[in-house]
Amino acid sequence: MSNQPRKIKTSSEPNRGQPVKIKGKRVVTNPVRNPRKIDSNPVSVPNPTRNPRKIDINPISVANPTRNPRKIDRDSNPTSGNSRQRNSNFSQPSTPTEPTEDCDLIYGRHPVLSALQNERGLNRIWITTRLRYDPSFHHLLLQAKENGTVIDEVEPKRLDQITNGSNHQGVAAQIAPYTYIELPDLIEQAKSVTDPVIIVADGITDPQNLGAIIRTAEAIGAQGLVIPQRRASGITSTVVKVATGALENFAVARVVNLSRALEELKEAGFWIYGTAATGSEPLHTVNFTGPIVLVIGSEGEGLGMLTQRSCDVLVSIPLQGKTPSLNASVAAGMALYEVYRQRSLNTLHLDKLQKMSLKK
């Protein structure tokens, strides 16, 4: 009995994988395999295609680059799949786009005609066939074409698309960037006339207001405009459109530091008058004589504190209604007309003196 081997139960299901003791040794009857451990070792895999993810993301180990269809689709067909994500890092061939209104487009008969008459740099002109051979445009268009301007005869519907449905009056033009004048040149140009007037726009951000100020200033007889380079509107196509040709005969200087520009104007002999709602002097009580600078504040905040300190006199427009303030372009027009009115009263009109002498 002592020489018979001990029977070991290995076929029962509950004991599978359970350790048993044989003469003091611990043995696992049915160890569980770990296939993931074998697959995760790329060295032991004789066929590398069993791990396609690892091969596809490593372009060095791919002998045939056509096995990565995602990469081919991204280069050859950028419109397939999720094009918004795939095209973010690839430059597409650009197609000619229409000029935007805020960039370099002017339209309307008078603005385009003024630009042609003053030989303003025009890159392209879109014009209807009827207006193309109009006597007021025909000769100027031929001259512009000789200077390199492209003339396109188009239908009115095409102009509607270019101007976004605006009142183009049958003509539109793509202008070259506006050329500003230097402040010393503006001062020298203004001093060539008697009692010059220069407008300074302090932070006018609305191009409609800026264009209206330029139009009024040129019509009244001012010699130029000074605008700051930052936090203000520049000479855009909207300004040119609203000014209706006034910029062709009106100089604009753009400065970095407005306070320093006002000091430079003072040194040149100009008196600085700033318009403010709380000005100490009513507009009609101020005697505007000699070279003057009229400073117009922004639409919402008015004149800045540094600008007010640079002014010699602050003037206000008396208001009788409940409206607390005026539009910047309206205030500029009223102040400019007061300057013009006072100077016209001090002007000796010889024709009127002759009529008065004849009556006597």
Q: Which class for 222: exposed (0-12), middle (13-18), buried (19 or more C-beta within 10 A)?
A: buried
Nearest Cα neighbor of 134 from 158, 169, 100 is: 169
Q: Which class for 115: exposed (0-12), middle (13-18), buried (19 or more C-beta within 10 A)?
A: buried
Is the pLDDT score of 217 beyond 90?
yes
Tell me the C-alpha to C-alpha distance, in Å, between residue 341 and each of 146, 221, 255, 287, 330.
45, 12, 30, 11, 16
* CB hemisphere CA count around 25 (13 angstroms): 5
Q: d(Cα 336, Cα 293) in Å, to the nearest integer?
A: 11
pLDDT in tens, 286-335: 999 899 999 998 877 778 888 888 999 999 888 888 887 788 899 999 99
Instruction: Return the minimum-mean-pLDDT range out of 50-59, 159-168, 285-294.
Output: 50-59
Nearest Cα neighbor of 294 from 326, 260, 271 is: 271
Give the single-character DSSP code of 59: T
Q: d(Cα 232, Cα 337) in Å, to the nearest integer?
A: 24
Laid out side by side, the sheet with 150-153 consists of 105-107, 171-175, 122-127, 150-153
| Confidence (pLDDT) at 246 | 86
- DSSP alpha helix (H) spans, the chain: 35-39, 52-56, 69-76, 83-86, 101-104, 109-117, 129-132, 135-146, 156-162, 183-190, 207-220, 237-243, 258-267, 305-310, 328-345, 350-359
Over range 217-245, report the average pLDDT. Answer: 87
Helix (H, G, I), strand (E, B) or coil at 241: helix
Is the pLDDT score of 94 beyond 60?
no
Q: d(Cα 242, Cα 258) in Å, to the nearest integer?
A: 24
Q: Which two tokens stand for residue 28?
A: 């696992």
What is the value of pTM for the model shown? 0.59
Over range 275-280, report the average pLDDT. Answer: 78
| Confidence (pLDDT) at 5 | 55
Q: Which two tokens stand for residue 349?
A: 């009109």
Tell me the C-alpha to C-alpha distance, in Å, between residue 83 and each of 72, 76, 88, 90.
14, 12, 8, 11
